[in-house]
Structure 1
Amino acid sequence: MNRSALPPCPKNHMAMAIISTIFCCLPFGIVAIVKASQVNSFYMNGFYERAQISANDAQKWTIISVITGLLSWGCWCGLNFIN
């Protein structure tokens, strides 16, 4: 099989998924990590479209994790400021 004929592997967004899990929102970050971990496996097994879908899902869940984390921190700080 000619490796140069393969489509490029999609970015798996693993680093951002891990960072968002640690600093933002744990449940959504875990989903992002699971999706990010699927990208390379799908790609190496020839499922290129599925690898791209998992990469897109990983990015989506990372963004959801960051937004949820920021909103949670904002609410927490706001409630502590009021009290």
Structure 2
Amino acid sequence: MKSALNLEETIAEKIQELSGKRQQQVLDFVEFLLQQDAAATKKFLHPDGRPMSALEAAGDLVGSIEGPGDLSMKKQELKRQPVQ
């Protein structure tokens, strides 16, 4: 297995063999991967640094859709209405 430094050197050497357009594509892909990593590790925090619950983080979405309030208690409303 190659060490991290050798891997970085190998990548740099291979990239130099590519055209400018292909190098830009590689850069775009690397930036995409970095964005994915950042999104996966994003934490929702209060202004004082305390972590938020899922309910707090989605607070502005709660109740934004119309419909029955408690679906578990209104099973009849879940049944499909006949097409007219």
Report the TM-score when normalising by structure 1: 0.34
Bigger proportion of residues as helix: 1
Report the TM-score when normalising by structure 2: 0.34
**Structure of greater Rg:** 2
